[in-house]
Amino acid sequence: MSEQRTALVTGANRGIGLEVCRQLAAAGYRVVLAARDRAKGEAAADTLRRAGDVTAAVLDVTDAAGIRALAADLERRRIHIDVLVNNAAVLVGESRAVLATTADELRTTFETNLFGVVAVSAAFVPGMVARRYGRVVNVSSKAGQLASMGTYAPAYSMSKSALNAFTVQLAAETRGRGVLVNSACPGWVRTGMGGRGAPRSVEEGADTIVWLATLPASGPTGGFFSDRRVIDW
Ligand code: NAP
Protein backbone atom coordinates (compact mmCIF):
# COMPACT_ATOMS: atom_id res chain seq x y z
CA MET A 1 0.00 0.00 0.00
CA SER A 2 1.45 3.37 -0.96
CA GLU A 3 -0.82 5.23 1.47
CA GLN A 4 -2.04 3.75 4.76
CA ARG A 5 -5.73 2.95 4.50
CA THR A 6 -8.14 2.83 7.42
CA ALA A 7 -10.66 0.05 7.92
CA LEU A 8 -13.72 0.02 10.19
CA VAL A 9 -14.97 -3.42 11.19
CA THR A 10 -18.29 -3.73 13.05
CA GLY A 11 -19.02 -6.41 15.65
CA ALA A 12 -15.29 -6.97 15.89
CA ASN A 13 -14.75 -7.85 19.55
CA ARG A 14 -14.94 -11.58 18.80
CA GLY A 15 -15.41 -14.18 16.11
CA ILE A 16 -14.84 -13.47 12.44
CA GLY A 17 -14.79 -9.67 12.90
CA LEU A 18 -11.87 -9.87 15.32
CA GLU A 19 -9.91 -12.07 12.91
CA VAL A 20 -10.65 -9.68 10.02
CA CYS A 21 -9.15 -6.89 12.16
CA ARG A 22 -6.07 -9.01 12.84
CA GLN A 23 -5.52 -9.81 9.17
CA LEU A 24 -6.08 -6.21 8.02
CA ALA A 25 -3.73 -4.85 10.71
CA ALA A 26 -1.09 -7.40 9.67
CA ALA A 27 -1.51 -6.20 6.07
CA GLY A 28 -0.68 -2.64 7.15
CA TYR A 29 -4.14 -1.11 7.52
CA ARG A 30 -5.04 1.17 10.38
CA VAL A 31 -7.96 -0.68 11.96
CA VAL A 32 -10.88 0.74 13.92
CA LEU A 33 -12.22 -2.26 15.83
CA ALA A 34 -15.85 -1.45 16.60
CA ALA A 35 -17.79 -3.19 19.35
CA ARG A 36 -21.04 -2.33 21.08
CA ASP A 37 -19.47 -2.92 24.51
CA ARG A 38 -16.57 -0.57 25.25
CA ALA A 39 -14.72 -2.91 27.65
CA LYS A 40 -15.00 -5.89 25.29
CA GLY A 41 -13.82 -3.79 22.35
CA GLU A 42 -10.81 -2.49 24.25
CA ALA A 43 -9.90 -5.94 25.53
CA ALA A 44 -10.14 -7.31 21.98
CA ALA A 45 -8.03 -4.46 20.54
CA ASP A 46 -5.42 -5.15 23.25
CA THR A 47 -5.02 -8.69 21.97
CA LEU A 48 -4.15 -7.28 18.52
CA ARG A 49 -1.62 -4.60 19.49
CA ARG A 50 1.22 -6.72 18.19
CA ALA A 51 -0.56 -7.32 14.88
CA GLY A 52 -0.43 -3.61 13.98
CA ASP A 53 -2.32 -0.32 14.28
CA VAL A 54 -5.64 -1.17 16.00
CA THR A 55 -7.90 1.15 18.00
CA ALA A 56 -11.18 0.27 19.65
CA ALA A 57 -14.39 2.25 19.09
CA VAL A 58 -17.86 1.90 20.53
CA LEU A 59 -20.54 1.14 17.96
CA ASP A 60 -23.92 -0.50 18.33
CA VAL A 61 -25.07 -0.62 14.73
CA THR A 62 -28.72 -0.26 15.81
CA ASP A 63 -28.01 3.04 17.57
CA ALA A 64 -28.37 5.95 15.13
CA ALA A 65 -27.00 8.49 17.60
CA GLY A 66 -24.02 6.24 18.32
CA ILE A 67 -23.25 5.93 14.59
CA ARG A 68 -23.35 9.72 14.23
CA ALA A 69 -21.14 10.14 17.31
CA LEU A 70 -18.51 7.74 15.98
CA ALA A 71 -18.51 9.39 12.54
CA ALA A 72 -18.12 12.82 14.16
CA ASP A 73 -15.34 11.61 16.47
CA LEU A 74 -13.37 10.07 13.57
CA GLU A 75 -13.89 13.21 11.48
CA ARG A 76 -12.57 15.35 14.37
CA ARG A 77 -9.50 13.14 14.53
CA ARG A 78 -9.16 13.33 10.72
CA ILE A 79 -9.52 9.58 10.41
CA HIS A 80 -11.17 8.74 7.09
CA ILE A 81 -12.72 5.34 6.65
CA ASP A 82 -11.55 3.75 3.38
CA VAL A 83 -12.75 0.22 4.08
CA LEU A 84 -15.97 -0.76 5.83
CA VAL A 85 -16.61 -4.34 6.86
CA ASN A 86 -20.25 -4.71 7.90
CA ASN A 87 -19.73 -7.81 10.00
CA ALA A 88 -22.02 -7.41 13.06
CA ALA A 89 -25.05 -9.68 12.96
CA VAL A 90 -27.40 -11.69 15.11
CA LEU A 91 -28.92 -15.11 14.62
CA VAL A 92 -32.32 -15.26 16.31
CA GLY A 93 -35.01 -17.97 16.20
CA GLU A 94 -32.72 -20.33 14.30
CA SER A 95 -34.89 -23.42 14.55
CA ARG A 96 -38.26 -21.76 14.15
CA ALA A 97 -40.52 -22.39 11.16
CA VAL A 98 -41.12 -19.34 9.01
CA LEU A 99 -44.77 -18.93 9.99
CA ALA A 100 -43.91 -19.31 13.67
CA THR A 101 -41.27 -16.59 13.51
CA THR A 102 -42.42 -13.68 15.62
CA ALA A 103 -42.49 -10.06 14.57
CA ASP A 104 -40.06 -9.33 17.39
CA GLU A 105 -37.59 -11.90 16.07
CA LEU A 106 -37.85 -10.43 12.60
CA ARG A 107 -37.46 -6.89 13.91
CA THR A 108 -34.45 -7.72 16.10
CA THR A 109 -32.78 -9.55 13.23
CA PHE A 110 -33.43 -6.91 10.58
CA GLU A 111 -32.48 -4.05 12.95
CA THR A 112 -28.92 -5.39 13.14
CA ASN A 113 -28.41 -7.40 9.97
CA LEU A 114 -29.96 -4.92 7.52
CA PHE A 115 -30.97 -1.56 9.00
CA GLY A 116 -27.72 -1.33 10.97
CA VAL A 117 -25.67 -2.05 7.86
CA VAL A 118 -27.53 0.56 5.83
CA ALA A 119 -27.15 3.16 8.59
CA VAL A 120 -23.42 2.55 9.10
CA SER A 121 -22.87 2.60 5.33
CA ALA A 122 -24.80 5.87 5.05
CA ALA A 123 -22.42 7.39 7.59
CA PHE A 124 -19.20 6.32 5.87
CA VAL A 125 -19.73 5.58 2.16
CA PRO A 126 -20.38 9.20 1.09
CA GLY A 127 -16.86 10.06 2.31
CA MET A 128 -15.46 7.19 0.26
CA VAL A 129 -17.26 8.46 -2.85
CA ALA A 130 -15.97 11.99 -2.23
CA ARG A 131 -12.40 10.68 -1.92
CA ARG A 132 -12.96 8.25 -4.80
CA TYR A 133 -11.72 5.25 -2.84
CA GLY A 134 -13.70 2.74 -0.87
CA ARG A 135 -14.21 -0.95 -0.21
CA VAL A 136 -17.39 -2.18 1.45
CA VAL A 137 -17.78 -5.81 2.45
CA ASN A 138 -21.16 -6.95 3.66
CA VAL A 139 -20.68 -10.15 5.61
CA SER A 140 -23.55 -12.27 4.41
CA SER A 141 -24.26 -15.99 4.38
CA LYS A 142 -25.18 -18.79 2.04
CA ALA A 143 -28.26 -18.99 4.28
CA GLY A 144 -29.40 -15.88 2.39
CA GLN A 145 -28.96 -17.43 -1.05
CA LEU A 146 -32.35 -17.44 -2.79
CA ALA A 147 -31.02 -19.96 -5.30
CA SER A 148 -30.83 -22.68 -2.64
CA MET A 149 -32.94 -21.41 0.27
CA GLY A 150 -34.80 -23.94 2.37
CA THR A 151 -36.27 -23.70 5.86
CA TYR A 152 -33.14 -22.87 7.89
CA ALA A 153 -33.33 -19.85 10.25
CA PRO A 154 -36.04 -17.86 8.45
CA ALA A 155 -35.48 -14.46 10.06
CA TYR A 156 -31.69 -14.66 9.66
CA SER A 157 -31.84 -16.06 6.12
CA MET A 158 -34.31 -13.42 4.93
CA SER A 159 -32.17 -10.69 6.52
CA LYS A 160 -29.11 -11.90 4.60
CA SER A 161 -31.09 -11.96 1.29
CA ALA A 162 -32.08 -8.37 2.02
CA LEU A 163 -28.45 -7.55 2.87
CA ASN A 164 -27.42 -8.96 -0.51
CA ALA A 165 -30.02 -6.73 -2.20
CA PHE A 166 -28.44 -3.79 -0.37
CA THR A 167 -25.05 -4.84 -1.78
CA VAL A 168 -26.47 -4.75 -5.32
CA GLN A 169 -28.13 -1.37 -4.75
CA LEU A 170 -25.07 0.26 -3.21
CA ALA A 171 -22.74 -1.19 -5.85
CA ALA A 172 -24.97 0.21 -8.60
CA GLU A 173 -25.07 3.60 -6.92
CA THR A 174 -21.30 3.83 -6.46
CA ARG A 175 -20.19 2.15 -9.70
CA GLY A 176 -17.36 3.99 -11.45
CA ARG A 177 -16.67 6.18 -8.40
CA GLY A 178 -13.80 4.24 -6.85
CA VAL A 179 -15.97 2.29 -4.39
CA LEU A 180 -16.29 -1.50 -4.63
CA VAL A 181 -19.16 -3.13 -2.74
CA ASN A 182 -19.53 -6.89 -2.34
CA SER A 183 -21.14 -9.55 -0.19
CA ALA A 184 -19.09 -12.38 1.31
CA CYS A 185 -20.05 -15.69 2.86
CA PRO A 186 -17.37 -16.87 5.31
CA GLY A 187 -18.60 -20.48 5.30
CA TRP A 188 -19.57 -22.31 8.49
CA VAL A 189 -17.09 -21.05 11.07
CA ARG A 190 -16.29 -21.94 14.70
CA THR A 191 -17.53 -18.83 16.54
CA GLY A 192 -20.25 -17.98 19.04
CA MET A 193 -22.68 -17.98 16.12
CA GLY A 194 -21.30 -20.96 14.21
CA GLY A 195 -20.74 -23.18 17.26
CA ARG A 196 -17.86 -25.50 18.13
CA GLY A 197 -18.77 -28.14 15.57
CA ALA A 198 -18.26 -25.89 12.55
CA PRO A 199 -15.59 -27.09 10.12
CA ARG A 200 -13.84 -23.76 9.52
CA SER A 201 -11.44 -21.71 11.62
CA VAL A 202 -11.87 -17.94 11.93
CA GLU A 203 -8.75 -17.55 9.77
CA GLU A 204 -10.48 -19.44 6.94
CA GLY A 205 -13.73 -17.55 7.52
CA ALA A 206 -12.01 -14.16 7.33
CA ASP A 207 -10.08 -14.91 4.13
CA THR A 208 -12.65 -13.92 1.47
CA ILE A 209 -13.76 -10.91 3.53
CA VAL A 210 -10.20 -9.58 3.76
CA TRP A 211 -9.62 -10.33 0.08
CA LEU A 212 -12.67 -8.20 -0.83
CA ALA A 213 -11.66 -5.49 1.66
CA THR A 214 -8.27 -5.14 -0.04
CA LEU A 215 -9.29 -5.41 -3.71
CA PRO A 216 -7.31 -3.44 -6.28
CA ALA A 217 -9.13 -0.77 -8.33
CA SER A 218 -9.74 -3.35 -11.05
CA GLY A 219 -11.62 -5.60 -8.60
CA PRO A 220 -15.26 -6.64 -8.86
CA THR A 221 -18.24 -4.78 -7.44
CA GLY A 222 -21.80 -5.91 -6.84
CA GLY A 223 -20.98 -9.60 -6.38
CA PHE A 224 -21.53 -12.37 -3.83
CA PHE A 225 -18.38 -14.37 -3.01
CA SER A 226 -17.35 -17.46 -1.10
CA ASP A 227 -13.80 -18.81 -1.13
CA ARG A 228 -12.89 -15.89 -3.43
CA ARG A 229 -15.33 -17.16 -6.09
CA VAL A 230 -18.65 -15.74 -7.27
CA ILE A 231 -21.67 -17.64 -5.95
CA ASP A 232 -25.36 -17.40 -6.83
CA TRP A 233 -27.58 -14.86 -5.10
P1 NAP B 1 -20.44 -14.00 16.53
O2 NAP B 1 -19.29 -14.76 17.04
O3 NAP B 1 -21.81 -14.24 17.10
O4 NAP B 1 -20.11 -12.44 16.66
C5 NAP B 1 -21.06 -11.50 16.31
C6 NAP B 1 -20.50 -10.12 16.58
O7 NAP B 1 -21.51 -9.16 16.22
C8 NAP B 1 -20.19 -9.90 18.07
O9 NAP B 1 -19.06 -9.09 18.17
C10 NAP B 1 -21.43 -9.14 18.55
O11 NAP B 1 -21.18 -8.31 19.67
C12 NAP B 1 -21.67 -8.29 17.31
N13 NAP B 1 -22.98 -7.65 17.30
C14 NAP B 1 -24.21 -8.22 17.37
N15 NAP B 1 -25.15 -7.26 17.36
C16 NAP B 1 -24.51 -6.08 17.29
C17 NAP B 1 -24.92 -4.73 17.23
N18 NAP B 1 -26.21 -4.38 17.28
N19 NAP B 1 -23.99 -3.75 17.12
C20 NAP B 1 -22.67 -4.07 17.08
N21 NAP B 1 -22.21 -5.32 17.16
C22 NAP B 1 -23.13 -6.32 17.25
O23 NAP B 1 -20.61 -14.16 14.97
P24 NAP B 1 -19.57 -14.57 13.80
O25 NAP B 1 -19.74 -16.00 13.54
O26 NAP B 1 -18.23 -14.00 14.07
O27 NAP B 1 -20.27 -13.81 12.58
C28 NAP B 1 -19.71 -12.70 11.91
C29 NAP B 1 -20.45 -12.52 10.61
O30 NAP B 1 -20.34 -13.70 9.81
C31 NAP B 1 -21.96 -12.29 10.76
O32 NAP B 1 -22.38 -11.34 9.81
C33 NAP B 1 -22.55 -13.64 10.45
O34 NAP B 1 -23.89 -13.56 10.01
C35 NAP B 1 -21.62 -14.13 9.39
N36 NAP B 1 -21.61 -15.57 9.20
C37 NAP B 1 -21.13 -16.40 10.16
C38 NAP B 1 -21.12 -17.77 9.93
C39 NAP B 1 -20.56 -18.73 10.94
O40 NAP B 1 -20.62 -19.95 10.69
N41 NAP B 1 -20.03 -18.30 12.07
C42 NAP B 1 -21.63 -18.29 8.73
C43 NAP B 1 -22.12 -17.43 7.76
C44 NAP B 1 -22.09 -16.06 8.01
P45 NAP B 1 -21.35 -8.86 21.20
O46 NAP B 1 -20.10 -9.61 21.53
O47 NAP B 1 -21.51 -7.60 21.98
O48 NAP B 1 -22.57 -9.74 21.21
Q: What is the pLDDT along the chain (233 residues), one digit of tens a residue?
A: 568 999 999 999 999 999 999 999 999 999 999 999 999 999 999 999 899 999 999 999 999 999 999 999 999 999 999 999 999 999 999 999 999 999 999 999 999 999 999 999 999 999 999 999 999 999 999 999 999 999 999 999 999 999 999 999 999 999 999 999 999 999 999 999 999 999 999 999 999 999 999 999 999 999 999 999 999 99
pLDDT at 3: 83
Fold of domain 6-230: Rossmann fold (3.40.50)
Q: Which residues does 22 contact at the CB level (< 8 Å), separation at least 6? A: 48, 51, 206
Q: d(Cα 224, Cα 202) in Å, to the nearest integer?
A: 19
pLDDT at 104: 97
Closest atom of ligand 1 relative to the 87 alpha carbon: 32
Residue nearest to atom 11 of ligand 1 (CA): 11
Closest atom of ligand 1 relative to the 62 alpha carbon: 18
Q: d(Cα 205, Cα 226) in Å, to the nearest integer?
A: 9
pLDDT at 1: 53
Nearest in space to 63 (alpha carbons), one of 20, 123, 127, 19: 123
Q: Cβ distance 24 to 34 under 8 Å?
A: no
Whole-number Å distance, alpha carbon 13 to ligand 1 midpoint, is: 9
86 CB near ligand 1 (under 6 Å): no
Q: Which of 29, 133, 152, 156 is catalytic?
A: 156
pLDDT at 31: 98
In order of 108, 159, 172, the CA distances from 129 in angstroms are 30, 26, 13
pLDDT at 22: 98
Q: Which one of 23, 61, 193, 231 would you pick to mutate in the ligand 1 pocket, going by the greatest count of ligand atoms within 8 A of its CB?
A: 193
The torsion angles phi and psi of 100, rounded to 5 degrees, stand at: -95, -5
Q: Where are the domains of the chain?
A: 6-230
pTM above 0.85, yes or no: yes
152 is known as an active-site residue? no
Q: Which one of 8, 18, 36, 61 would you pick to mutate in the ligand 1 pocket, going by the greatest count of ligand atoms within 8 A of its CB?
A: 36
What value, to the nearest 5°, has the Cα angle with vertex 188 and ends 211 and 40?
75
Closest atom of ligand 1 relative to the 86 alpha carbon: 32
pLDDT at 109: 98
